[in-house]
Amino acid sequence: MNITIEGLSKIYPNGNRAINNISLEIQDGMFGLLGPNGAGKSTLMRILVTLMKPSSGKVTIDGLDLVKNRKEIRKILGYLPQDFRFFSKLTTHEFLDYAARLAGMKDSKTRASAVDRMLEEVGLFEARDRQANRLSGGMKRRLGIAQALINNPRLIIVDEPTTGLDPEERIRFRNLLSTISTKDVIIILSTHIVGDISSTCKSMALLNRGELAYSGSPDELVEQAGDKVWLIKATEAEYLEINEKYPVISTVPTQEGWEIQVVADSINGYSGNHIDANLEHAYVYFMENQLNQWTAI
Amino acid sequence: MISLHNIRSIALYETKTLLRSWFFRIFAIIAMVFLAFFNFGVLIESNGGAGQWELKGLPSLIPYINLLFLNVVQAIIAIFLASDFLKRDKKLDTTEVIYMRPMTNGEYVIGKTLGNLVVFFVLNLIILSIAIIFNLITKNVTVNWMAYVYYFGLISVPTLVFIMGLSFLIMSLIRNQAVTFVVLLGYVAISLFYLQDRFYYLFDYMAFNIPLTFSDFVGFGNLETVLIHRGMYFFLGLAFIFYTIILLRRLPHSEGMRYFALVFGSVCLVFGIYLGSRHVGAFLSEQRLRRELIGLSDQYLDVKQVQVKDYDIKVDHQGQQLVCDVTLDVTNENSSPLEKVIFSLNPGLKVTRIQVNGQDHDFERKLNVVELTGLKLDAGQQASIFFSYEGKIIESACYLDIDDETRIATYRNFLYQIDKRYAFVTPDYILLTRENNWYPVPGAGMGAKNSQWLSRQFSNYKLEVNTKPGLTAISQGTVQQDENRFVFTSSHPQTQVSLTIGDYERKQADIDGLEFNVYVRKGHDYFSAFFEEIKDTIPSVVAEALQDFERSVDMYYPFERFSLVEVPIQYYSYDRVLSGAREQMQPEMVLFAEKGLLVGDADFYGRMEGRRRFGPDASQEMTPQEKKIQVLKNFLSSFTQEQGRPDFQRSQGQVQIEEKPNPYYIFPLFYNYAYYIRSDQWPVTDRVFESYKKQGTDSPRMGWMRDMQGMSENEQGNLALLSQSFEEILKDPKQLQIVDNVIQLKGKALFSIIKRKAGDAEFEDFLFNYLNEIKFKTASIEDFNNAVYDRFGIDLIPYMESWFSSKQLPAFLIDNINAVNVLDGDQLKTMVKFKVSNTEGVEGIISVDFRLGAAGGRFGGMGGSAETISKLIHLEGNQTKEVSFLLSGSPRGASINTLTSRNIPSEIRLPLENLEEDKKAVPYEGETVVDIPVRIAEENEIIVDNEDPGFVVTTNDEGSLLRKLLITEEETTSRYAGFSGWRPPRNWTLTANSAFYGAYIRSAHYISSGEGDQKAQWNIPLSERGFYDVYAYVYKDTRRGGRRGGDSNAGEYHYIIHHDDGDEDATVDLKTAEEGWNHLGAFYFSSDTALVEMTNQSQARMVVADAIKLIKQ
């Protein structure tokens, strides 16, 4: 299973260029899509799930052209949008059954068993007769991923799946995706939460202003920020200066003043030391230094 | 390839979602509750617990009405639900998980549509189940199961498909639910309240106006029209649905589906438009054909006709075709040779062969006209003409004298629409009358100028019918049946012959030598069980009713048999200007609508129950048998009243009452099919005789009806005669409603010429005997004139021309009406005296009618109802008479009717009960010509009436722009509005009543009471200054109370007199005021005009402004 994106662009009727000339290769497993608001992540995903037509470029999924073979591609898709709400009046079970039906599961026994199994997997079996729109936020996300997975898709696209989930649910959710990603499928995970990518994805892409800023593994991105992460012990007066000079990752008040994590080539004049970089540091460093574009995430 | 699995899945979950929507549930519950109550009300509880006969009489009407109601509401709800699905789909993130699934846009939209439809079908099923339950528990009603299927398919399905498709399409285009609602609800409102049946009910997508009544005889009488109309909406709906597939904002799954949707949608659209054009085209081509037929007829205006002495008609009923052989023995009875011999025959019947005197003869066929090429007949020459023809009846060729607007006007009963049919030829049923021209008739049919079609000939008929086994043929004359062959032979000449064939059963009785038959469709005998207890009494009740009618028309029933034949409800006929005979009336028989649905008194069980609960018998000791006899009498009276149920309509706040002619009024059997007085110069002459003879059956017009309408139809007739001659009115389609009244008024005027010289009784005897002489023969007006001349020495003909074309009318002033009891010998009598002047130069008559309790006359016996004595007073132009009538017994009331005149109101009513005895009065009866005319005012009196130029009123110009736009001038009612005491108008409104002041026109302006902002002004011209006594003419309403209810005539009027010393508010207390002139005071006026005002300030409910009188001191 692989996805090849070549020179993909999307220009909206109002002239807004949402994505611009993106080329990308995605292989089996989890693939992270990172980028600030307006970077074009959702547009790219909506193109990949056949909801939107690209203006130019080409996408092939397992050799199938996304535009010409929309029918075949939809059969292997699973999709969980970002702000997903349910049709009112349907129960959890009915909603999943509806999704299963539309995914092509015709045999009622097979479908019933698949629905029940999926409800078990996402921990919603007990809530099978509850109206879907009355579930808690976490349960709704689980039901969302359940409908995306109900037909055993080979390409799963999830947009901000862990937003609003408590830590326990986030971990469970990530683990679920990781488990699925071992089965000859591609999971494209778009998220603001860098940690979700670092803990699950073997490869990733960074989008900014509709353009592909980085493509590779998270580790390679982290390497680029290897000695650039500093922990500065700063006084109250320095705190404000540092905030203005460097991209600040975190600030912790101490008895003496502040412990501030920043990404920078050097911290001239301040007292601090190197610490190990992670993907979050790397993302900030990359955005600040490679693209000369710092945008708060 | 379309995936049914996907469609089913989408439909299933759409259905689930909608069924769980509270909006739908609330609507469904309201619909169910409303229709349950409705069914309970109309089928079980109404009409004294017997149910509404108009609905339960024909079982198919139950699902029809239920779905009609449901359909209007569900069509609106469907708009909300249908557009809601696209709105729901606009919540992108929710829909995206559906849109990215492997399904085509077509599957999605079709699935959604089916889901929506299923929801409504479930509701329809529930509503129909409710209807079925009520249908089953309603007494004496069967269930027409198929009707439930038919109406569901014809009413609900096309409406829902269309409105859903339209909603989807508009929502897809506009993509705004609120705007879509406004557009679609506007469309619903326009189609319901404005378009209605306009444009041949083309826009009636809810099937609210298209006739859909299903007869047990023939099913839908207009099946093709219905299928085309409903098919049009179904296919347009499909087209919109498939276009929605293309417009759906989802990347297509299959290009094939898009092309399919485009092609299929376009095919449906084109087919829908085609059906629509066929629907309209059918009407237009009918109209075109009618114009051609009329034009063709007029080409033969001057062609004289042959007289048919004998008809020998052989009819073979072959499915939906007639195969006929007809032999006519004809004579040229004209005084000159006939250069052309023409016959008319329905254009749907194809003539295959014609023989003259046994030899094949060439003929030329133009539409309905068959011209026998080269055939000439000398005066008196006879010929035998044989026609062989076959085919169907084209009904649009019937009633060519009826305008298109009248023909396409809705035929409604209760709440349902019935299609109008004039003939039936189906494999199981046939109904043909002369109007269908199903056998050759001399002449060219009806034209715009050529009215020969309505002239009558008396011929001998022999009719032989071959039909399907098991069917019964019904026609005039004696019948001989040999299996499925029927031969009818008439024993005397007839004007026409009809043919009815169907699955009939016959009930027969001999009543005083009259063969009395009732033919009903098998299974439709709902009455025998009801009348079982009184079946031995029925003949005497029928005989008595017949005698009563004979007495009232002063004629004997002319035939040996009388048949009541049940016919499909769709059978329809029109009232005509030149003939009083509706086609429901045929010689010897009445074609009576299925189950008597159009006649309330045919609901025997309902009437019985009504009498038991609420009727006059409720508190009386009557046996059930007596009650049933009364029910039967009431039913029989349905045939003896000329007017049917009045039709109430509101227009600009005024109630309009249109009295619909009763199609089952049997007078034509007495007159039209037995006598014919012909005039080529004045074709209306026969109607004048007819009208004169039937006036004895006129029921006195109820005063409240006239008061509500503002003017009686006679008065409207008089108004019309002021500007149009009799001749012009007869040709004016706008005057159709009053033409009968005009004919009757003119008839009275004509015959009064004879009566004046001959005397009432002598003339009646003469007419009775004369008609007996010409029974079953044609006589001319010249024949009649000769007979009158021979007997009375009066020549009517010279008078006829001005009678027909003059526009002058007499005008009467009537004064000093005095009614007292006087002692005449030892008998107390009632004497009524008055003085009357005819102020115009043309002669005129007035009729004084006294209502009595006794009956008398040629036919003897006692009538059950009040009798009327009519006295005519003739006045030459500018003549004045003092007249006095002396009456035995105790007349209950009198009315002075000015007939054809300028007077409004035309009738002055006088109560004659509890009169005082005038011991000084000298009993006298007679009339004296006097010199001094009636004077409306004394020499020293100056009167300004509300009809005079000096009278003006303010106008309340309020009212919405919408009202002004919607209500056009054409819709304004007659000059004199009705008198609505309970809801007086907000503007000064002119109304006429004999209690008001006036010379020829007794009228006043009235208005709802208010704060004094509305004024009436009298500007009274004065020739000299001085002190004047001022009087106001006050109308006292004896029926209604003040504004806050309570005492009648509570309240006051304010008159403001503008005089030299200032303004005087003269208040008249209505409780103490005199009816008539009331003194307001004496005032000095120095200018040449005195001004008196009246405002609408009053505690009374209304204020009436009539006349002001000034008398110089």
CATH code: domain B812-930 is 2.60.40
Instruction: Verify that A186 and A233 share a domain, yes or no.
Output: no
Domain boundary among A193, A218, A243: A218
Of B814, B832, B964, nearest to B886 by C-alpha is B832
Give the global pTM.
0.81
A183 found inside a domain:
yes
Interchain contact, B9 vs A102, CB within 8 Å: yes
Q: Which of B145-154, B479-488, B709-718 has the lowest mean pLDDT?
A: B709-718
Instruction: Verify that A131 and A156 share a domain, yes or no.
Output: yes
The answer to whether residue B772 scores a pLDDT higher than 90 is yes
Q: What is the pLDDT of residues A95-151, one digit of tens each?
A: 999 999 999 999 999 999 999 999 998 889 999 999 887 888 788 888 888 999 998
Chain A residue numbers with beta carbons less than 8 Å from the beta carbon of B253 are 70-71, 74
Q: What is the pLDDT of residues B874-932, one digit of tens each?
A: 888 899 999 998 888 777 778 888 888 888 888 777 777 777 888 888 888 889 999 99
Shortest Cα–Cα distance, A27 to chain B (Å): 22
Q: Rounded to 5 degrees, what angle do the CA atoms B244, B250, B254 make?
A: 85
A18 found inside a domain:
yes
Identical fold at B674-805 and B812-930? Answer: no
Instruction: Verify that A187 and A208 share a domain, yes or no.
Output: yes
Q: Rounded to 5 degrees, what angle do the CA atoms B394, B149, B267 make?
A: 70
If you average pLDDT over each of B363-367, B412-416, B611-615, which comes out highest? B363-367
Please state which architecture CATH assigns to domain B301-502.
Sandwich (2.60)
Interchain contact, B102 vs A74, CB within 8 Å: yes
Instruction: Verify that A23 and A140 share a domain, yes or no.
Output: yes
The answer to whether A83 faces chain B, any CB pair under 8 Å, is yes
**Mean residue pLDDT across chain B:** 87
Instruction: Verify that A131 and A187 share a domain, yes or no.
Output: yes
Interface of A with B in 198-257 (CB under 8 A): none
Where residue A294 falls among pLDDT bands split at 50, 70, 90? very low
Shortest Cα–Cα distance, A201 to chain B (Å): 24
Note the pLDDT of residue A189: 92
Minimum Cα–Cα distance from A90: chain B residue:
B17
- Rounded to whole angstroms, how far apart are CA atoms B506 and B328? 31
Instruction: Tally C-beta pairs within 8 A across A and B.
Output: 78
- Judge contact between B325 and B351, C-beta under 8 A: no
The answer to whether residue B863 scores a pLDDT higher than 80 is no
Chain B residue numbers with beta carbons less than 8 Å from the beta carbon of A79 are 96-97, 100
Q: Got the DSSP string for B404-442? A: HHHHHS-EEETTEEE--BS-EE-SS-EEE-GGGT-S-EE
Interchain contact, A103 vs B254, CB within 8 Å: no
Note the pLDDT of residue B511: 87
Interchain contact, B93 vs A83, CB within 8 Å: yes
Chain A residue numbers with beta carbons less than 8 Å from the beta carbon of B11 are none
- Rounded to whole angstroms, how far apart are CA atoms A182 and A178? 7
**Domain residue limits, chain B:** 4-281, 301-502, 674-805, 812-930, 941-1112
Query: CA torsion, points A118, A121, A123, A125, in degrees to nearest 10?
Result: 40
Chain A residue numbers with beta carbons less than 8 Å from the beta carbon of B248 are none
Interchain contact, A103 vs B10, CB within 8 Å: no
AA letter at B558:
P
Note the pLDDT of residue B195: 85
The answer to whether A54 faces chain B, any CB pair under 8 Å, is no
Q: What integer is the mean pLDDT of B289-301?
A: 94
Among B9, B91, B251, beta carbon nearest to A98: B9
Shortest Cα–Cα distance, B110 to chain A (Å): 14
Strand partners, A65: A60
Instruction: Verify that A123 and A10 share a domain, yes or no.
Output: yes
Chain A residue numbers with beta carbons less than 8 Å from the beta carbon of B100 are 49-51, 74, 77, 79
Shortest Cα–Cα distance, B395 to chain A (Å): 56
Chain A residue numbers with beta carbons less than 8 Å from the beta carbon of B251 are 50-53, 70
What's domain B674-805's superfamily in CATH?
Neutral Protease Domain 2 (1.10.390.10)
A170 found inside a domain:
yes
Note the pLDDT of residue B976: 79
Spacing of C-alpha B545 from chain mean position: 25
Note the pLDDT of residue B547: 92
Interchain contact, A51 vs B98, CB within 8 Å: no
A295 found inside a domain:
no
B403-412 as b/e, with b when 16 or more CB fall inside 10 Å? Answer: eeeebbeebe
Shortest Cα–Cα distance, A43 to chain B (Å): 13
Interface of A with B in 131-170 (CB under 8 A): 144, 147-148
Interchain contact, A79 vs B100, CB within 8 Å: yes
Instruction: Verify that A100 and A165 share a domain, yes or no.
Output: yes
Shortest Cα–Cα distance, A113 to chain B (Å): 17
Where residue B616 falls among pLDDT bands split at 50, 70, 90? low
- Judge contact between B868 and B852, C-beta under 8 A: yes
Note the pLDDT of residue B853: 55
C-alpha R_g of chain A: 21
Q: Which of A81-85, A230-234, B896-900 has the lowest mean pLDDT?
A: A81-85
Minimum Cα–Cα distance from B89: chain A residue:
A87
Interchain contact, B91 vs A51, CB within 8 Å: no
The answer to whether A12 faces chain B, any CB pair under 8 Å, is no
CATH code for the domain of A131: 3.40.50.300
- Rounded to whole angstroms, how far apart are CA atoms B1020 and B1059? 12
Chain A residue numbers with beta carbons less than 8 Å from the beta carbon of B16 are 89-90, 94
Q: What is the number of helices (H) and of strands (E) in chain A? A: 10, 14
Note the pLDDT of residue B963: 52
A296 found inside a domain:
no
Q: What is the pLDDT of residues B128-167, one digit of tens each?
A: 999 999 999 988 788 999 999 999 999 999 999 999 999 9
Instruction: Verify that A76 and A200 share a domain, yes or no.
Output: yes
Chain A residue numbers with beta carbons less than 8 Å from the beta carbon of B92 are 81
Where residue B362 falls among pLDDT bands split at 50, 70, 90? very high
A177 found inside a domain:
yes
Minimum Cα–Cα distance from A88: chain B residue:
B17
Among A70, A79, A102, beta carbon nearest to B251: A70
Minimum Cα–Cα distance from A147: chain B residue:
B97
Note the pLDDT of residue A226: 83
Residue-range definition of the domain harbouring residue A267: 223-290
The answer to whether A99 faces chain B, any CB pair under 8 Å, is yes
Instruction: Verify that A242 and A165 share a domain, yes or no.
Output: no
**More confident: B49 or B276:** B276
Chain B residue numbers with beta carbons less than 8 Å from the beta carbon of A74 are 100-102, 253
Q: Got the DSSP string for B449-494? A: S--GGGS---BEEEEEEE--TT-EEE-SSEEEEETTEEEEE-SS-B
Q: What integer is the mean pLDDT of B1013-1032?
A: 93
> A92-102 vs A137-149: helix axis angle to the nearest 10?
20
Q: What is the pLDDT of residues B159-213, one digit of tens each?
A: 999 999 999 999 888 888 888 888 998 988 888 888 888 888 899 999 989 999 9
Chain B residue numbers with beta carbons less than 8 Å from the beta carbon of A88 are 17
Per the structure, the count of domains in chain A is: 2
Note the pLDDT of residue B983: 76
Chain A residue numbers with beta carbons less than 8 Å from the beta carbon of B91 are 85
Among A71, A94, A101, beta carbon nearest to B253: A71
Phi and psi angles of residue A76, each rounded to the nearest 5 degrees, phi first: -105, 10
The answer to whether residue B221 scores a pLDDT higher than 70 is yes
Minimum Cα–Cα distance from B11: chain A residue:
A98
**More confident: B484 or B653:** B484
**Mean residue pLDDT across chain A:** 87
Instruction: Verify that A20 and A44 share a domain, yes or no.
Output: yes
Shortest Cα–Cα distance, A216 to chain B (Å): 28
Strand partners, B910: B894
Shortest Cα–Cα distance, A95 to chain B (Å): 9
Interchain contact, B253 vs A85, CB within 8 Å: no
- Output the CA–CA distances (angstroms, integers) from residue B351 to B341, B361, B365, B388, B392, in the order listed: 16, 12, 8, 6, 12
Residues with Cβ < 8 Å from B347, sequence gap 6 or more? B289, B293, B367, B368, B394, B397
Instruction: Verify that A37 and A101 share a domain, yes or no.
Output: yes
Chain B residue numbers with beta carbons less than 8 Å from the beta carbon of A53 are 251
Q: Identify from A90, A102, A154, A159 which residue to disrupt to test chain B contact, counting B C-beta atoms within 10 A and taking the largest count.
A: A102
- Judge contact between B225 and B419, C-beta under 8 A: yes
Q: Identify from B4, B93, B101 which residue to disrupt to test chain A contact, counting A C-beta atoms within 10 A and taking the largest count.
A: B101
Where residue B681 falls among pLDDT bands split at 50, 70, 90? confident
Q: What is the pLDDT of residues B448-481, one digit of tens each?
A: 888 888 888 999 999 999 999 999 999 999 999 9
Chain A residue numbers with beta carbons less than 8 Å from the beta carbon of B103 are 102
Instruction: Verify that A37 and A167 share a domain, yes or no.
Output: yes
Half-sphere exposure of B659 (CA within 13 A, CB side): 22
Assigned CATH class of B941-1112 = mainly beta
Interchain contact, A71 vs B20, CB within 8 Å: no
Q: Identify from A45, A76, A98, A106 which residue to disrupt to test chain B contact, counting B C-beta atoms within 10 A and taking the largest count.
A: A98
- Output the CA–CA distances (angstroms, integers) from residue B887 to B625, B851, B866, in the order listed: 39, 11, 15
- Rounded to whole angstroms, how far apart are CA atoms B650 and B658? 11
